Amino acid sequence: MADPILLDIDFTNVEPIVQTERGFPDAGPNKARIRGYIEFENDGVPNTLQCNMTTGVIDHRERFNLAYDFAKRLFMTHLVKAGIPLDVLRSGKKLPLDKLKGRTVYFNYTPPKLNSDGSAVEKSYPKYAWLSESEYNAMVAAPAQAAQAAEEAVSSGDFAVENEVKAPAPTPTPSPTPAADESDLGWLLNKDSQPEA
């Protein structure tokens, strides 16, 4: 009989592998878990920050070129919607972004245009519109509420049928031609009669 295997492995600060794939989330409201941030130089522009996220089994990222004011505003929106108070952001203190790892963020997603092989067309980029949790919940609930309202309307009979075939409107009956009357110039309607001179 074989001896039992006893392992002495230190798993401190080790995380299990999660099976994910690079890709694009579905268009519309989404939520993601932040995996972390990295800072790098992008096309010669320093101070680019990348937020790596996972939605379901899809890994995706958003980049912020913090050398530009507009990107700073987008990143600030991202942080506020992730739950960082504005006064903390404006305090001038350094932000420990590693504290956001594992936090859930919400966004409305517009994917880039894709090639037939599923990769993004050159110069086509995804768009993230960052949302609070309540904004996300409202967006997710809206289609469900509309569907429920439609179902209730159908079951109650209080609905308009789309594409209903309607009978054509009746053709108006022309009014009868007035009789020729010389006193009111009705004779103009009757070619056979002419007033006497």
Tell me the β-bridge partners of 28.
109
From the CB of residue 48, how many other CB atoms can be counted at a distance below 10 Å? 18
Q: What is the pLDDT of residues 118-135, one digit of tens each?
A: 788 888 888 999 999 999
| Secondary structure (DSSP) of 33-74 | EEEEEEEEEETTEEEEEEEEEEETTEEEEEEEETTSHHHHHH
% of the chain surpassing 70 pLDDT:
73
Predicted confidence band of residue 178 (pLDDT cuts 50, 70, 90): low
This prediction's pTM = 0.62
Q: Where on the phi/psi map is residue 123: left (φ > 0), alpha (ψ -120 to 50), or beta? A: left
Pairing of strands 58-65, 104-110: unpaired
- Residue 51's Cα: distance from chain center in Å? 20
Residues 119 and 31: beta-carbon distance below 8 Å? no
Question: How far is it, in rounded angstroms, from Cα 29 to Cα 135?
Answer: 9
Lowest mean pLDDT among 32-36, 56-60, 153-157, 180-184: 180-184
Is pLDDT at 166 greater than 60 in this prediction?
A: no
Is pLDDT at 162 greater than 80 in this prediction?
A: no
**Residue corresponding to tokens 């086509």:** 124
Determine the pLDDT at residue 103.
95
Inter-CA distances, 53 with 42, 59, 83, 104, 170, Å: 19, 6, 16, 9, 63
Question: How far is it, in rounded angstroms, from Cα 39 to Cα 84?
Answer: 19
Question: How far is it, in rounded angstroms, from Cα 141 to Cα 94?
Answer: 37
Tokens matching residue 172: 């108006």
Greater model confidence, 69 or 156: 69
Among 16-20, 53-57, 115-119, 181-185, name the most confident range: 53-57
